[in-house]
Structure 1
Amino acid sequence: MEEKGLSFAKSQREPSCINYGEIEINTNNVEVVTRPWSNLPPHLLSLIADRLGIIELLSFRGVCKAWQAASSAASAKIETTSNPEPWLLFYGEEGSECHLYNTSQRRYTMSIPELEEATCLASNQGWLLIFKEGTMFFCCPFSHAKIDLPKFPLTYLSGHVSAFSSPPTSSECTVAAMHRDHKSGLELYVLYRGADTWTRIKLDSIQYKLSALRMATYKDEEFHFFDKKKGVVTFSVKDKSCERYTIVPEDNSTTGKRLPTVVCKYNHFERSDMKKKLGLGEDVSISICGTLVRNDGIDIIVFSEDIEADEEPDYHLTGVWIQPRFFQVSSNQSWSL
């Protein structure tokens, strides 16, 4: 890559027109020192990187290796920053090319090969759980960090919802995927951090009491699987048991076990009039994977959505709500402990 220079000026007593490599003394009694971009002081580069947002930081890191190294602290800062408003990522429309929209609907185009011909199963804290060609893995689209999971028992998924308890770099991370098959019924697959095989749990007793699945989340050592009506199935990581609940209006007479309190955002895309804001036509159908965000200690569930076209569908968009986070993992990072 061609390197450009920055100029620094200082006074010079004796006029001259002699060029000494990177030091040029001109007739205005000023010594001009030219320095390559890649050779700027690391502390100066770090100060610049610390003031950048995640999109600008990605461009900053792409200049050269020196700039990438100088931005490590800024990358770690973004990694720990929580943003209560998720961004919208559309993928799979044109190969690896994806379109990202921030909270002000500004669009960025990114190449994310990991999402080509893939399905996003879950989104949490900037990590995506991806199913692709019968394999499952975690990826962070902003840094292209990837962690492969052990082979999933199924080569396809239908009527499914998934969630994971914590970032895949955590030793406590657990993954759960609930799947409804027209032959075998409702099944739950669970993978504990460090395990090399998935645990299969058959849900015979509740499979006919749950409508089409809509969303899965995790809180307080339990996975929660919501259907499209008022049903919820919980799976306890601690005692490996499942229970079914019905969502009812809260009042003082409510008895029995209460699920953890969360804020639910249903139809977030439609309620925000995102179709109009993004300039999408009435002939576009959209599927969006939801996410879980935290704001001031409160969990907010942004539910998955399927938006039908008002006219005869011309094409379909697939998206996911994601928090703008940047994660770096070592080359030997794996699911095994």
Structure 2
Amino acid sequence: MKFCLSSKKKFLCMECSRWLYDTILEPACLYVTKKYKIITTGQRQNRAWSDLPPEILSLIAERAGLFELLSFFRVCNSWHSASSTALAHIVGHEINKGPWFVLYEDKNSECQLLTSSGKKFTTSLPELDGTTCLATYGAWFLLFKKGGSMFFFHVLLRQRIDLPKFPVPELTDHVGAVSSSPTSQDCVVCVISCRDDKTLDAKLHFLGKKTYWIVATHYDARVKTDTIKSAVYHNGKFCIFDGRLDNMSMMTLSIENSFPYCIWKYVTLVKANPRNSHKDNPSKSNVFQRHVDELKNNLKDMKKKLGLTEDVSISTCGTITPLIEEDKSKFIFNESVSDNDDKSKNRRFKGVWIQPRSSARRW
């Protein structure tokens, strides 16, 4: 449910009014007069929803779910105030304690969101239909549609930011990363693909500086280009990983100090050994944990929580999330998971890992 008010009369639309009436007021046999009196059927009188008294607004907020509250939160000052406590209660124990998972399906507007503690919320997001998520930043999705359309979409606030048409009309084995929030003038979008067995192409877009895409090519790449699985922005660099578990390699692409030029570098990563100090071998230190099979390892439990049947396949977009206690970052790789060897018979879903920020205003 998305709450909305008339710009002139400040009345809720019919759909929103019906939701409030059916969910909150009618079950309790409560109605509101212009004098803020709670009355019963027969004494009912119309009034502006934006003028509801605080006690009724609090009652509504307490019964609303996450997506309803996010819309409720932005209607007007009184609704904002009434919903702040309820919204903080829902997300207070969730933020920065682990990634959330968003599941959607093409040609089906219903979207499910599973928080780190297992709370599930459902809403309608037709904006995701026909899209492929390449990267995330907080709750922002970097989405691509066949034909070259690319845009950012905030899955919680339902905000959209369009990008220039992508140079390639159809994606095959592309991975992406974003340097910062798309609302920032310093945001850089990077989409990586393999031209051939030894060549990487990086297509870059600088949101606050350019109105077109820039191509940076690296020849003789030492990473296995046929196994590149994911990309992430970390410590001022775009990092492109292959999918190996041991002795994983990556290419880094630096652009901040050399715009519009790019610097490529090859790095080999090894699993962290607690007996050895990172100072002994800083070039191979484990700066973040790499989780290649996050969904696969928890598929049975995830399917149960999301109410999925056996005949499903899920392709996911990873994310990076802080591990505060360990003072490092956890990076979840892209992956494709299926319980059935014959994928043509599966119901196909798309999953996206997200890490909402610590403030609801910045979501």
Aligning the two structures, in what range does the TM-score lie when normalised by the shorter sequence? 0.7 to 0.9
Structure 1 residue 104: Cα displacement: 4.4
The letter of the residue matching 2:50 is S
1:116 aligns with 2:138: no
Tell me the SS of whatever aligns to 2:231: strand
Cα displacement string for residues 183-204 of structure 1 (whole angstroms, at most 9, x for unaligned residues): 9952111112321111101122
The letter of the residue matching 2:156 is F
Structure 1 residue 148: Cα displacement: 1.0
Match of 2:350 in 1: 318
Higher helix share: 2
> Where in structure 2 are the equivalents of 1:65-84 lying within 5 Å?
70=81, 82-84=95-97
Cα distance in 2 for residues equivalent to 1:53 and 1:145: 19
1:98 aligns with 2:111: yes
Cα distance in 1 for residues equivalent to 2:235 and 2:36: 63
> Where in structure 2 are the equivalents of 1:15-94 lying within 5 Å?
37-41=49-53, 54-58=66-70, 60-61=72-73, 70=81, 82-94=95-107
Q: 1:275 to 1:224 in 2, by over 3 A?
A: same
Structure 1 residue 264: Cα displacement: 2.3
| 8 A Cα contact 1:125 1:293, kept in partner | no
Gaps of 5+ in 1: 9-19, 27-32, 330-337
| 8 A Cα contact 1:211 1:231, kept in partner | no
Length-normalised TM-score, structure 2? 0.70
| 8 A Cα contact 2:241 2:249, kept in partner | yes
1:192 aligns with 2:214: no
The letter of the residue matching 2:290 is C
1:146 aligns with 2:160: yes
Name the count of aligned residue pairs. 311
Indicate the structure whose relative CO is greater, using CA pairs within 8 Å and at least 6 residues apart.
1
Cα displacement string for residues 148-199 of structure 1 (whole angstroms, at most 9, x for unaligned residues): 1122111111111101011111122111110124599521111123211111
Structure 1 residue 218: Cα displacement: 1.0
Q: 1:106 to 1:120 in 2, by over 3 A?
A: same
- The structure 1 residue matched to 2:194, chosen from 168, 180, 205, is 180
Match of 1:244 in 2: 266
| 8 A Cα contact 1:283 1:312, kept in partner | no
Cα distance in 1 for residues equivalent to 2:86 and 2:137: 18
Q: 1:88 to 1:288 in 2, by over 3 A?
A: same
Match of 2:4 in 1: none
| 8 A Cα contact 2:201 2:217, kept in partner | yes
Cα displacement string for residues 218-244 of structure 1 (whole angstroms, at most 9, x for unaligned residues): 122101111112220100122320111
Cα distance in 1 for residues equivalent to 2:309 and 2:164: 40
1:214 aligns with 2:214: no
The letter of the residue matching 1:293 is T
Q: Report which stretch shifted further, 177-186 or 309-318.
A: 177-186
Match of 1:286 in 2: 314
Match of 2:336 in 1: 306
Structure 1 residue 143: Cα displacement: 1.2
Cα distance in 1 for residues equivalent to 2:238 and 2:62: 36
- The structure 1 residue matched to 2:171, chosen from 147, 153, 157, is 157
Q: 1:72 to 1:127 in 2, by over 3 A?
A: farther
Structure 1 residue 140: Cα displacement: 0.3
The letter of the residue matching 1:228 is G
Cα displacement string for residues 49-83 of structure 1 (whole angstroms, at most 9, x for unaligned residues): 69987335136359x6676555797799879x943
Cα distance in 1 for residues equivalent to 2:181 and 2:122: 25
Q: 1:46 to 1:167 in 2, by over 3 A?
A: farther
Q: Report which stretch shifted further, 194-203 or 83-92.
A: 83-92
Cα distance in 1 for residues equivalent to 2:46 and 2:162: 46
| 8 A Cα contact 1:158 1:181, kept in partner | no
Q: 1:34 to 1:135 in 2, by over 3 A?
A: closer
Q: Report which stretch shifted further, 194-203 or 94-103.
A: 94-103
The letter of the residue matching 1:40 is L
Length-normalised TM-score, structure 1? 0.75
Gaps of 5+ in 2: 1-13, 40-44
Q: 1:144 to 1:34 in 2, by over 3 A?
A: closer
Q: 1:68 to 1:132 in 2, by over 3 A?
A: farther
Q: 1:295 to 1:7 in 2, by over 3 A?
A: farther
Q: 1:249 to 1:22 in 2, by over 3 A?
A: closer
Cα distance in 1 for residues equivalent to 2:145 and 2:356: 22
Tell me the SS of whatever aligns to 2:330: strand
